[in-house]
Amino acid sequence: MNTKVALIILLSFFVFYSGNAQTTDKSKVYLLEIKDEIDPRMNRYIKLAFEEATNLEVDYVIIEMDTYGGAVTDANDIVETILDYEKPVFVFIDKNAASAGALISIACDSIYMAKGSSIGAATVVIGDGTAAPDKYQSYMRSKMRATAEAKGRDPKIAEAMVDQNIQLDSISDLGQVITFSTSEAIKHGFCEAEVKNIEDVLALNNIENYEIIKHKVSTSEKIISLVLNPFVSGILIMVIIGGIYFELQTPGVGFPILAALIAITLYFIPHYLNGLAENWEIIAFFIGILLIALEIFVIPGFGIAGVAGIILTLSSLMLVMINNDLFDFSFVDEKEIMIALLTTSLSFVGSFVIMFFGGVRFTKSKTFQRLALANTQDREEGYTTGFGNKNMTNKEGIAFTILRPSGKVTIDGDIYDAYTRGEFVEKGEKIIVVSEEGTSLKVKKI
């Protein structure tokens, strides 16, 4: 009898503990926002957010949306990310889901809209706001249709959000693309319900015991987004061009090329991480720099190599800012091309203006005087750069400076650059010329 009582008590305790444990297990809800233009930065933001959601093993993902759209290519990448995600993805449209925003919303498992919100108007437009050529519209129609089919929504309505020539009885008139209000979207299966906030979305899905985890942008990602700003990119281009120019003009100074290398790193890495900078664009940049260096140091004059180097360098810096596919600009907004072109051009001109005015002031500064040889070595003072018709071999002289193993010597009252075969010669010791080597003399101590 006592054994039965003990078993009943243990069983009751187990049932109570199990039930209590279930009530304390909270559902993880991951919240992220799309409240800006759909571009490479937003593309990377969504990718990182879903990666974090996967690592945290969340139960639901909710996207809070208010956007007028953006780049179709980036929207397509975001759609693929959402479709490949295994857990439920809800979207809460708080005001607008236009164009690319509509495509992303349709890719979600459930759509919820606030009062007064809208979804649709997915016609592809170019920089001036007019409709893009039909090949762009055809691509967008196919994406809308395929995405709607994947989520069990009417593909014909999705197409009509893009194409004004599609007429649907009692839904859209010929010559108008579909833009649904909240009630219209509910009526035609493009919205599950009208809600006020995220809590309403969770309540409608019977999610009561939950914790909301908001996606936070890391400091490094904030820096990357900052660098992608055209203004900041322009400043980095100026530093790159200016640093390389000063280093080529005064080799060995050091810090101009260091500044250029830091600017190159800050410029290319964020664009590369956002899928803008391709490997061939980066390679083209360094080939351009190499051609410029060859023109200055190896090839006399300034010709094909120099011009080709400048074109390659500037073109690569510009193309890195544009989401092209090996010179295919089909889905690149004309506005983006103009911004990239203006940023690169103005930075190039600005760098030379700064070099012209700032360079003169810099060469007169105490810092430059400590780093560079500013004095002129005149022949009247005993200096010379050549031997003329003189045969210097076997001539004797005196070490004008310490030779460690290079330095200067005086022979017959003239000063020459000289070096030994490795031995050190103290200042004032006698030397003899072993041979002539270009503009220097190879000497040894007598």
Q: Give the chain's mean pLDDT.
A: 83
Averaged over 233-257, what is the pLDDT? 79
Query: Best-predicted range by mean pLDDT among 19-23, 56-60, 420-424?
Result: 56-60
Q: How many CB atoms lie within 10 A of CB 4?
A: 8
- How far apart (Å, rounded) are the C-alpha atoms in residues 18 and 12? 10
Give the per-residue pLDDT at 22.
Answer: 45
- Amino acid letter at 161? M
Left, alpha or beta for 438 (phi > 0: left; psi -120 to 50: alpha)? left
The more confident residue out of 204 and 423 is 204
Q: Identify the three-state secondary structure at position 228.
A: coil
Q: How far is CA 365 from CA 14, 362, 368, 371, in A?
A: 82, 5, 5, 10
Q: Tell which wins on pLDDT, 323 or 216.
A: 216
pLDDT band at 397 (very low <50, low <70, confident <90, very high): very high
Q: Residue 273: its pLDDT value, please? A: 80
* Interval 319-376: pLDDT, tens: 888 877 677 666 666 777 888 888 888 888 888 777 666 555 555 566 555 555 555 5
Distance CA 274, CA 14 (A): 52
**Hey, what domains does the chain have and what are their CATH numbers?**
24-216 (3.90.226.10), 220-371 (no CATH), 379-445 (2.40.50.140)
Secondary structure (3-state) at 438: coil
Please answer whether residues 72 and 96 qualify as being in contact, where contact means their C-beta atoms are separated by less than 8 angstroms: no
Which carries the bigger pLDDT value, residue 422 or residue 193? 193
85-144 residue pLDDT tens? 999 999 999 999 999 999 999 999 999 999 999 999 888 776 556 777 777 788 899 999
Q: Give every CB contact of residue 216 below 8 A, 6+ residues apart in sequence.
A: none
pLDDT of residue 387: 61
